[in-house]
A and B are shown apart, each in its own frame.
Chain A
Amino acid sequence: MTKRKMFLRMVTSSLLRRRSRMLIALLSIAIGATILAGLVTIYVDVPRQMGAQFRSYGANMLLLPGEEGELNREKLNEALAEIPGDSLVGAAPYRYVRLDMTTRQQSFTAAATDFTQIVKTSPYFSVEGAYPSETRQVLVGKEIAETIGVHNGSTMELTYQPTVVSDGKTPEESRVAGATLSGKAEGFSGGMVYVTAVLDDAAKIASLTVDASTQTPEYGGQIPEAEAYLNQFIGKSLPLAGGDVDTFTGATVTSDAVVAALNQATAISSPAQPRTLNFTVTGILTTGGEEEGYIFMSLEDMELMTGTDHLDVAELSVSASAEQLEEYTAAITEKTGVRARLVKRVARSEAAVLEKLTALVFLVTLVVLLLTLICVSTTMMAVVSERRREIGLRKALGASDGSIRAEFLGEGLFLGLLGGILGAILGFIFAQVVSVNVFGSSITFQPLLVPAAVLVSMIIAAASCLLPIKRAVAIDPAIVLKGE
């Protein structure tokens, strides 16, 4: 038998055959290692855990229409492709439109969205009833529900009054029934004269306003208030011919400018058929925020009413670190032209909470390690005084101080090894329990943690033995001779 074998036999026998005392030391190391392994596991998993947790506080990224080009569903999908699928918790598109409630002669803001996504991006929404699951169903904000007195199952008629912006139309194309026209022309000494005219059902002038603030106040400048002059335009068709209207006395140039402006005027809006749909209320929304003043409907219904799939904003909930979020926003803005920005308030508080949590875990780990050190050290101290005779005997038999040191250190390391393995296993269970109870999700096993826990346990155990070993070495071998 080699010396090393005998050494191992002595060290392991000491631990395995003298159970009670060593069990306490083993237990304290195992508990220390358990807490350590558990906390480190949680620590490693915390960003993921907390990320998911934070996501319940709402969206942390917004997508807005870019400088050129608008945001629609196609663009949104293009932008979402820049974010890895497993990081994207949800993406809720929104479109806000004023709708009239025909029966009450009131208008409200309607928000069109995707209800399956709202659940993910705004988990704090509280719905009495249910989210709409089909078209022609709406979710009504509590504030509106109280104002107009609707409840689940009520029906409501909503009308979209289109305002078609007509750009690029020629003056001729613009002169249609119901259109509002505006135009300008150069008046006296280079000053501009502006006119706005509304056409009646027969495409004749129904009303006219003139802005002549650049003209001489005593002459042309009087025109906007000159009723008799302006009234001659009512009922006339455009374009005006030479003798259709009289000039304003003393302001021939300005008068000519008014006529010229009207003849060049183009539509700023032209009428379209209002569209009305009948909706059923499926739920009343309580959020404590401005959402209570909206009526929520599906994007499909909104498209049907307005004829476009334009989106005003998309709220994204992305589970990622601050750096990754920055990367995603940059990539989206650059590649798709959609303007992506972070909701700084949410992103910052996430970072702050994570930082504090990290510090806390670190501190607790440190305290636990320190306590383990003290506990094991105390136990080993007791072990040394309990084994004074044995140590004296070993010295009497010729053990050098080095051998005594090696034996106790060996026992300490062996304890650390057992405690570390035990702790790594228990620590994973501990982390799992904490994770399930606190975060409500299970964690992944970190294989590297086992050697790490064992190593730390062995270091702690060895450090705990330093003082007891010093005691052991100081024991006088002569104690074995005194026949006490």
Chain B
Amino acid sequence: MSLLELKNVSKIYGELKALDNVSLHVDQGEWVAIMGPSGSGKSTMMNIIGCMDKPTTGEVLLDGVDISKESSKHLTDIRRDKIGLIFQQFHMVNYLTAVENVMVSQYYHSMPDENEALEALGRVGLRERAKHLPSQLSGGEQQRVCVARALINHPELILADEPTGNLDEANENIVLDLFAQLHKEGTTLIVVTHDPEVAEAAQRTIVLEHGRIAREVINENFGK
């Protein structure tokens, strides 16, 4: 069953075609990696999938809804309800503790629940670091808090932008293991990266070049 579908999507900034007639299909529960050099259109694609930008032309169907025509207010609602975001720079609210950062996501989504938030932190192995401020956490720990924050509202799609870009190998592995777990639980994952190792962890890799899909690689070793 298809969760996300891009149909002939283009995004044009003046002369520049950031995305040029891209079509993509992601099934429910699939784990997809998007690779490509800088300027290949990864970020633009991510913005569009993440409901933070709209394509110039083409259709984007998320869970059956065409998000390319929605108002930005509606896009906010859709993003909040369906998407969990993970960023390269971690992006935590620096004056809130780890558990409070997770609760911020609950706050905007529905109702803050400290126990549930602590449980989510437990899942990423940070139960005992819940009361720490971001400045007291290592980069890897911060990113794990962000993973907990992304999954707290049980989104249908987790969208990760270079999630391991600022992490050492040990933390990268922890994050990838968490992704694998989420995948097992049926969460759809789209991971933008230029780290081949991260891409190899996914079922399928889409390679973007100059705003187009250059090739698609199926990971035959997936799950082994």
Contacts and interface: CB of A to CB of B under 8 A. Distances in A.
Interface of A: 1-3, 5-7, 9-10, 13-14, 17-18, 389-390, 393-401, 403, 476-478, 480-484
A390 B93 contact: yes
Interface string B59-86: 0000000000000010011011100010
Nearest to A478: B52
Contact of A481 (B47, B105, B108): B47
Contacts of A477: 52
Interface string B36-64: 00000001001100101100000000000
A483 to B, nearest CB: 4
Contact of B76 (A5, A13, A395): A395
B94 A390 contact: yes
B103 A13 contact: no
The CB with the most chain A CB atoms within 10 A, among B46, B50, B95, is that of B95
Count class of interface residues, chain B? 35 or more
Nearest to A403: B108
A1 B76 contact: no
Given A399-B108, A483-B89, A483-B162, A13 B100 contact: yes
A437 B47 CA distance: 65
A13 B52 CA distance: 28
Given A389-B91, A390-B94, A397-B85, A1 B52 contact: no
B79 A396 contact: yes
Given A6-B104, A6-B107, 19 more contacts: A5-B112, A13-B95, A13-B96, A18-B95, A393-B93, A397-B85, A397-B149, A398-B80, A398-B81, A399-B76, A400-B76, A400-B77, A400-B108, A477-B52, A481-B52, A481-B85, A482-B43, A483-B162, A484-B89
B109 interface: yes
B179 interface: no
A6 B112 contact: yes
Contact of A398 (B79, B112, B162): B79
Interface string B161-172: 110010000000
B87 A481 contact: yes
Contacts of A389: 89, 91
B104 A397 contact: yes
A482 B45 CA distance: 12
A396 B73 contact: no
B161 A397 contact: no
A10 B97 CA distance: 10
